[in-house]
Chain A
Amino acid sequence: MRYEAPTTAKEAVRLMAGKAGMARVLAGGTDLLVQIRTDRIAPDLIVDIKRIAGMRSIMTKSGGFRIGAAVSGAELGEHKALRRAWPGVVEAANLIGSIQIQSRATMGGNLCNASPAADSVPALVAAGATAVIVGPRGRRSLPVEDVAVAPGRTSLKKGEIVEAIVLPKRAPRSGDAYLRFIPRSEMDIAVVGAGVSLTLDRNGVCTAARVALGAVAERVILVPDAAKALIGSTVDQAALERLAAAASAACRPIDDKRGTKKFRIKVAGVLARRAARTALARAQGK
């Protein structure tokens, strides 16, 4: 196993593209190292991206944010402007693991690990975030929901690396939220996760919304029907009930030791409704 720590994205791509066999990007390592230690994978090459300056910073960009792929959860949590604009995204990323994990784990890694239960991903999908991907053929952008395709599998091509995650400019009267369900109170993998982002007009009518669910399908899913239930409403009780029903209807989960299919379907609706309430309160400036 070879370990490289390049200082430019270009060099990282060259390494990733050049190596035959399995190559893996190392950011925080909170998933990768565990997988190596438990024999699930045996990479031939590990490319550490933490020394690439552009991947370690949060920049404001035309009103939005460009978050480097190697920015830790702790750094996200300390970024006041980001927290103000996208509290749901930051909360989601900060739910991952313990304080120790937070100082290592990254949203880029959470995204590329491609777990259906990744906590930050439903919040990013709801936020309409895009992934900036750098590869042998240059850069491209991809909606975050299109990065993971199945558990542990992404749509990235050989040599491609997620370089940054871009959050769009926030419209006035907008709010987002993420909630997850776990059997104990902290430090566990989501049984269901729900992210909601919405925007209101001056009269309190929802003009735009996105709803995403985690741990209820083979990957994090965007649920347009759930968003439709909110758009055009004042996010009243009836709209919330329709949202919950649409969220439950979109689930195609599995049974596992953390929860059953039936449980996940029911709770997806409950969490989507609760997350929408929080997002609404934030949009209303409460």
Chain B
Amino acid sequence: MGRPEPRVDGRLKVTGNARYASDFPVANPAHACLVTSAIAKGRIVSFDLDDARAVPGVLDILTHETVGNEVHEPKFFGSGGTASTIHRPLSSAQISHAGQIVAIVVADTYEAAREAAYRVRVTYEEEDAATTLDSDGVETLPATKVRKEHKNPRVGDAAAALRAAPVTIDAVYETPTQHHNAIELYATTCVWSGEQLTVYEPSQFVHALKHAMAEQLGIDAEDVRVISPYVGGAFGSKAAVTPRTALVAIAARRLNRPVKLVATRAQGFTIATYRAETRHRVRLGAQRDGKLTAYVHEGWEATSRLDDYLVGGTETTAHIYDVPNVSTRVNVVRTDRATPGFMRSPPEVPYVFALETALDELAEALDMDPIELRRINDTRNDPITGAPYTSRSLMACYDEASRAFGWRRRNLPPGSMRDGDWLVGWGCATAVYPTFMGAATARVRLARNGATRVEIAAHDLGTGAYTAIAQTAAERLGLPVAAVEVLLGDSALPAAPVAGGSNTTASCCNVVAKACDGIRRRLVRAAMRADRGPLRGRKPSSVNFVDRHIAGEDGAKVSLADAFDMLGAPMIEEYAHWLPHGMEPDALKKLHLGSAALTGGAMEDRIAAAFGAELVELRVNVYTGELRVPRIVGAFAAGRIVNPRTAHSQYVGGMIWGIASALHEQTELDRRVARYVNTDLAEYLIPVNADVPDVQAILVSEEDRLVNPLGIKGLGELANVGTAAALGNALYHATGRRIRKLPLRIEDVL
């Protein structure tokens, strides 16, 4: 652990041998194609399927007229369930969002299915749809009303503190709709063997998908197996169970033949989740020396009519700085759109953008360096509860990032740095991500020759989980990484949490280490009790596993093979479960039922989070307003780093995503009809390589003895937090113009 091991699955991936969901060969598959709604609100009056049925090779066309009540109502994950929505697919003529699945065509070939899907004619009765936050017909409700357990963080008397503050900021910020657009499309293959169903689907939570299928199809969970060893990008979109899976399963059951669906890129914009647009009003009060006295944050988030998805980012932002008076409030705005869902750092991306931009405005009002402002308000304790941070290295991150960036050469006044035709701006912002952990189980088997197999139904979304878990087992058992085989992404393996909230490394490495420790104990005991042998009579705590040996501090050692012989067994298999601090005792039971319960962040007795500092240079062309980002430096501290190479890759990728969020990414809404316009990668802009010339990630060392036994904090969702604020702040520094709405657009600069 701690070494920059190359990915253990790297060769498989670059040679095309890693099997993604739709790569699994199944016998004689039929192919499915979706037909999605052309309207956002209303009902289906009729179908004309004659043309579609006439296509040679068409086997079946499922609509609400034929499926009806076959799918049981899913339970929304926001209410403790597993599904992205309570919508029951193909259960009625009702349309609640554009792009809703209205039919599924199954044929012998993909081509026939697609052709027939094109020929399905649907007649609708359309009603006016409410598209977004300020559209007519939306319903705005406080989060406390739609979610009983929701609590708006607050402390002190923020209103009074604001009134008394000599310096105040009061501004409104907005973030756009975004879609994950993982390269791997939403694919599902369902295979029935008698009563048993196997689902091949890219998943961030195979145990949830297993139980969801059992519930939605009315079958025994033990008859469902979900296989998803590799995932080609997910970013939250493959965590909750979407309506398509049950439909593919039903189609396969009706035909008694495997059915394979790979939805199109455009359909991916409406059959799964997305990041909804948000609006924020932030008010800050401070003394002239920069000490914050008040923080008031109200947020509005778009959701659907059916489900109240909530990101509620003040649950993160209220805990970052030392502010004695905090008042927050979050609202959901129900629109006629699909239900949004997790997208990388769901609460932090929009809410931290608002807070970190407001802080920059405050620094400007105070005529103060923005990093100094953050230093003045740094804290070791949760300002809401007073509980201590398990560890916190925010200012160390700023210090290291500043040094690497050359921040002290920054001129304070906006518009004062120029290079030829380019206005130069330097901006900064804090990155933060709460540390989450979940109950986890794992099985580890060690053979006499050192061959190790780790089984855990965790998920590698391209993040490096295979490698981190292999490194953990290798270190605990004193073996090379190559001796460890890791099996993930299969619901037949011991249950592990959702790959969400960046908890996988912390949860899974801790449980795997625990299982390895069980193996160690048995071998050590055997070695110590053996009649002869160099470790006879030693204390278990005095030995370690190194280089295929059990070694004492004085150099006395027993080889693994000898220890096995002393034990009299050819292999040992250990099963372990692990409950993180603060987890409710029934968490294991919930985990086995596919519940995504996580603990962490701001707890009663402590608060755990990873921090970072991002410093950026933005250049604005005087003549064209072109915005370019020649360099970005991020320094991050996230406890113990299991693999600096994959961590570095996550940070760099996160910052690039942050640049995308700031300058490019936005799902365009046709506000008249509640539809998305740019549903492909030609029109949904993300940066190309030329847009991200110099991205530097610094790993700041941090030791955390409290957060969990291995001291690991999640970091996958850390680095794309704050980037957009840093860039907006740099734009202000370059031009003196404050843009409070993302993405930053060139015409806003002219």
Residues of A within 8 A of B (CB): 38-39, 181, 183-188, 257, 259-260, 262-263, 266-267, 270-271
User: Contact partner of B747 among A186, A188, A262, CB < 8 A?
Assistant: A262
Residue of A183, A260, A270 touching B623 (CB-CB under 8 A)? A270
Identity of the chain B residue whose Cβ is nearest the Cβ of A189 in the assembled complex? B682
Query: Inside 8 A of A184's CB, which chain B residues have their CB?
Result: 663-664, 685, 687-688, 690-691
User: Is B42 interfacial (CB 8 A cutoff)?
Assistant: no
Q: How far apart are A190's CB and chain B's nearest CB, in angstroms?
A: 13
Give residues in B with beta carbon < 8 Å to A: 118, 266, 623-628, 663-664, 668, 677-678, 685, 687-691, 745-747, 750
Smallest CB separation, A8 vs chain B (Å): 31
B690 near A186 with CB under 8 A, answer yes
Do A183 and B685 have beta carbons less than 8 Å apart? Answer: yes
Chain A: CB-nearest residue to B664: A184
* Given pairs A183-B626, A267-B625, A270-B624, 4 additional interface contacts (CB within 8 A): A183-B664, A184-B664, A184-B687, A185-B690
Chain B residues with Cβ below 8 Å from A187 are 688
Tell me the interface secondary structure of chain A in the complex. loop
A184 to chain B, nearest CB (A): 5
CA gap between A38 and B745 in the complex, in Å: 28
Find chain B residues with CB under 8 A from A38 CB: 266
Cα distance A229–B393 in the bound complex, in angstroms: 61
Determine if B691 and A263 form an interchain contact, defined as CB atoms under 8 angstroms apart: no
B668 CB contact (under 8 Å) in A257, A260, A266, A270: A257
Tell me whether A257 and B688 are in contact (CB under 8 A): no
- Which of B627, B663, B678, B745 gathers most chain A CB within 10 Å? B745
Q: Give complex CA distance A186, B627 in Å.
A: 13
Q: Are A263 and B747 in contact (CB under 8 A)?
A: yes
For this complex, 9 residue pairs linking A to B, each with C-beta atoms less than 8 Å apart, are A181-B624, A183-B664, A183-B745, A184-B687, A184-B691, A185-B691, A257-B677, A260-B747, A266-B750
A181 partner residues in chain B, CB cutoff 8 A: 624, 626
Tell me the bound Cα distance from A187 to B626 in angstroms: 15
Residues of chain A contacted by B685 (CB below 8 angstroms): 183-184, 188
Docked Cα-Cα span, A184 to B691, in Å, equals: 6
Q: Name the CB-closest residue of A to B625.
A: A263
In the bound assembly, the distance between CA atoms of A39 and B625 in angstroms comes to 36
B687 touches A259 (CB 8 A): no
Q: How far is the CB of B93 from chain A (nearest CB, A)?
A: 23
Q: Which residues of chain B are near A257, meaning CB under 8 Å?
A: 668, 677-678
CA–CA, A183 to B662, complex, Å? 12
Closest Cβ neighbor of A37 among chain B residues: B264
Which 3 pairs across A and B sit closest by C-beta, in order of nearness? Answer: A185-B690, A263-B747, A260-B747
| Nearest CB on B from A106, distance (A) | 18
Residues B750 and A263 in contact, CB atoms below 8 Å apart: yes
**Across-interface contacts of A183 in B (CB, < 8 A):** 626-627, 663-664, 685, 745-746
CA distance A187 to B681 in the complex (A): 11
| Bound: A181/B623 CA distance, A | 12
- Number of A-B residue pairs with CB-CB distance less than 8 Å in the complex they form: 48
The CA-CA distance from A262 to B678 in the complex, in Å, is 23
**CA separation between A181 and B687, bound complex, in Å?**
15
CB neighbours of B690 from chain A (8 A): 184-186
Residues of A within 8 A of B663 (CB): 183-184
Write the chain A residue with the least CB distance to B623: A270
Assess whether B750 is in contact with A262, with CB atoms less than 8 Å apart: yes
Neighbouring B residues of A262 by C-beta, 8 Å: 747, 750
- Chain B residue nearest to A269 (CB atoms) is B623
Report if A185-B750 is in contact (Cβ < 8 Å); known contacts: A257-B668, A270-B624: no
Chain A residues lying within 8 Å of B627, measured Cβ to Cβ, are 183
A residues near B691, Cβ cutoff 8 Å? 184-186
Shortest distance in angstroms between B665's beta carbon and chain A's nearest beta carbon? 11
Which residues of chain B are within 8 angstroms of A259 by Cβ–Cβ distance?
Answer: 746-747
Cβ contacts under 8 Å, B625 to chain A: 263, 267
- Which residues of chain A are near B747, meaning CB under 8 Å? 259-260, 262-263
State in angstroms the CA–CA spacing of A78 and B359 once bound together.
Answer: 53
Within the assembled complex, what's the spacing in Å between the Cα atoms of A262 and B749?
A: 12
Q: A132 to nearest B CB, angstroms?
A: 31
Chain B, residue nearest A263 (CB): B747
Bound: A263/B625 CA distance, A: 9
Q: What is the minimal beta-carbon distance from A260 to any residue of chain B, in angstroms?
A: 4
CA distance A165 to B745 in the complex (A): 37
Counting chain B CB atoms within 10 Å of each CB, the highest count among A39, A183, A186 belongs to: A183
In angstroms, how far is the closest chain A Cβ from the Cβ of B631? Answer: 14
Give chain B nearest CB distance to A170 CB in angstroms.
30
- Return chain B residues, CB-CB under 8 Å to A267: 623-625
Most buried by A among B663, B689, B745, B747: B747
Task: Compute how far the CA of A188 lies from the CA of B663 in the bound complex, rounded to whole angstroms.
Answer: 14
A98 to chain B: closest CB distance in Å? 9
Chain A residues near B628 (CB, 8 Å)?
A: 185
Which residues does chain A contribute within 8 Å of B626, judged by CB atoms?
Answer: 181, 183
Please indicate the chain A residues that have their CB under 8 angstroms from the CB of B687 in the complex: 184-185
Alpha-carbon distance A212/B750, docked complex (angstroms): 24
A257–B663 Cα distance when bound, in Å, is 13
Q: Can you name the residue of chain A whose Cβ is closest to the Cβ of B666?
A: A257
Q: How far is the CA of A183 from the CA of B690 in the complex (A)?
A: 12
- Closest A residue, CB atoms, query B679: A38
Complex-state Cα separation, A257 to B745, whole angstroms: 10
- Are A185 and B688 CB-contacts (below 8 A) given A257-B678, A267-B624, A270-B624? yes
A39 to B266, CA, bound (A): 12
Q: Smallest CB–CB gap between A200 and chain B, Å?
A: 25
Shortest distance between the CB of A88 and any CB in chain B (Å): 19
Contacts of A271 in B (CB 8 A): 624
Alpha-carbon separation in the docked complex, A186 to B628 (Å): 12
| Residue of chain B at shortest CB distance from A264 | B747
CA distance A260 to B745 in the complex (A): 10
Complex Cα spacing A271 to B745, Å? 19
Nearest Cβ on chain A to B277's Cβ, whole angstroms: 15
Q: Which residues of A contact B750 (CB under 8 A)?
A: 262-263, 266
Give the shortest distance, in Å, between A186 (CB) and chain B (any CB). 5
A66 vs B691: C-alpha distance when bound (angstroms): 37
Q: Which residue of A lies closest to B692 (CB)?
A: A185
| CB proximity of B270 to chain A, nearest CB, Å | 15
Which A residues are in CB contact (< 8 Å) with B664? 183-184
Give the Cβ gap from B487 to chain A, nearest Cβ, in Å: 36
> Nearest Cβ in chain B — how far from A124, in angstroms?
23
Residue of A nearest to B118 (CB): A39
Q: Which residues of B contact A188 (CB under 8 A)?
A: 685
Kindly state the separation between the CA atoms of A267 and B668 in the bound complex, as whole angstroms.
24
B692 vs chain A, min Cβ distance (A): 9
Given contacts A181-B624, A181-B626, A184-B664, contact A263 B746 (CB under 8 A): yes
- A185 to B628: give the CA distance in the assembly, Å: 8
Which of chain B's residues have a CB closer than 8 A to the CB of A186? 688-691
Residues of chain B with a CB closer than 8 A to A185's CB: 628, 687-688, 690-691
What is the CA–CA distance of A61 and B118 in the complex, to the nearest angstrom? 47
Report the Cα distance A270→B624, complex, angstroms: 7
Q: What is the distance, in angstroms, from A72's C-beta to the closest C-beta of chain B?
A: 19
Give the complex CA separation of A259 and B685 in angstroms: 14
Q: Report the minimal beta-carbon distance from B670 to chain A, rounded to whole angstroms.
A: 11
Q: Closest CB of chain B to A42's CB: distance in Å?
A: 9
| Distance in angstroms between the alpha carbons of A183 and B626 in the assembled complex | 7
| Residues of A close to B118: CB separation below 8 A | 39
- Expressed in whole angstroms, the minimum distance between the Cβ of B423 and any Cβ of chain A is 15
Distance between B381 CB and nearest chain A CB, rounded to angstroms: 43
**B267: min CB distance to chain A, Å:** 12
B678 cross-chain contacts in A, Cβ below 8 A: 257
Q: Within the assembled complex, what's the spacing in Å between the Cα atoms of A260 and B687? A: 21
Q: How many angstroms between the C-alpha atoms of A181 and B678 in the bound complex?
A: 20
Distance in angstroms from A274 CB to nearest chain B CB is: 8
Q: How far is the CB of B592 from chain A (nearest CB, A)?
A: 44
| CA of A1 to CA of B628, assembled, Å | 46
CB distance from B260 to the nearest CB of A (A): 20
Interchain CA distance A186-B687 in the complex, whole Å: 9
Least CB distance from A210 to B in Å reads: 23
- What's the minimum C-beta distance from A270 to chain B, rounded to whole angstroms? 4
Shortest distance between the CB of B420 and any CB in chain A (Å): 14
